[in-house]
Copies of this chain bind each other. A is one copy, B any other.
């Protein structure tokens, strides 16, 4: 199972590393981090803390591609080389996946037309720009396209995918290895669960797109 995780300048690290940590534990996984050029990648914190091992030009024949998000997807959405790679890869993938605003990249590549899709809650309505049907769920599956909600949702998505491809026991084993027994100190992880004042504040401070 050849898996490509796309990296690009300003990417959100956990969008990529959450799925990676699950998917690299699949029985026959071969994971690559792909980017316009191989080498260091700056995340949205401005730190060159990630490394791509494979340039897009050499990144072919993947069974799974994972497109992580960024607080400002406008740059990557306008990168024709990236969009071409996504479209070409998608022709032969078994699964084409986005996390967070990575959905905007799938949308810009024309892959979400008419499909239900999710993304970071702050960007959900923006999915309409691509002919998609915004769907406020943590993981949305439509044929071989899976979109996940914001940042940390990539972990839930990857476990869901592990179960689909290899069965429940493999997914449960991986969940146990990464000790994913989440116990957040608050129930504040979605706009309807967080205190209303906090949701409102984040909505006024941040915008996507």
Interface residues of A (CB under 8 A from B): 12-14, 17-18, 20-21, 24, 31-33, 40, 45, 47-51, 53, 100, 120-121, 138-139, 149-153, 155-156, 159-160, 163, 168-169, 171-173, 175-191, 193-195, 198-199, 201-202, 206
What would be 19 A-B contacts, judged by CB atoms less than 8 Å apart? A13-B20, A13-B21, A14-B178, A21-B151, A33-B49, A138-B183, A151-B177, A155-B182, A155-B184, A156-B183, A173-B201, A175-B194, A176-B202, A179-B189, A179-B190, A180-B184, A180-B189, A181-B190, A182-B182
Q: Tell me how many chains of this kind the complex includes.
A: 2
Please determine whether A182 and B179 come into contact, CB atoms closer than 8 angstroms.
Answer: no
Question: Could you tell me the distance in whole angstroms from the C-beta of A160 to the nearest C-beta in chain B?
Answer: 5
Please determine whether B172 and A198 come into contact, CB atoms closer than 8 angstroms.
Answer: yes
Please determine whether B24 and A14 come into contact, CB atoms closer than 8 angstroms.
Answer: no
- Closest B residue by C-beta to A168: B186
Please determine whether B182 and A194 come into contact, CB atoms closer than 8 angstroms.
Answer: no
Question: Could you tell me the distance in whole angstroms from the C-beta of A169 to the nearest C-beta in chain B?
Answer: 6
Question: Could you tell me the distance in whole angstroms from the C-beta of A186 to the nearest C-beta in chain B?
Answer: 5
Question: Could you tell me the distance in whole angstroms from the C-beta of A196 to the nearest C-beta in chain B?
Answer: 11
Please determine whether B172 and A195 come into contact, CB atoms closer than 8 angstroms.
Answer: yes
Report how far A190 CA is from B149 CA in the complex, Å: 24
Report how far A20 CA is from B152 CA in the complex, Å: 12
Report how far A167 CA is from B193 CA in the complex, Å: 18
Apart from A31-B45, A171-B188, A176-B191: 17 A-B pairs, beta carbons within 8 A? A14-B178, A21-B152, A32-B47, A33-B47, A47-B53, A50-B50, A150-B177, A150-B178, A156-B183, A156-B184, A159-B185, A163-B185, A173-B198, A175-B186, A180-B182, A181-B190, A182-B184
Question: Could you tell me the distance in whole angstroms from the C-beta of A159 to the nearest C-beta in chain B?
Answer: 5
Report how far A49 CA is from B18 CA in the complex, Å: 13
Contacts of A32 in B (CB 8 A): 47
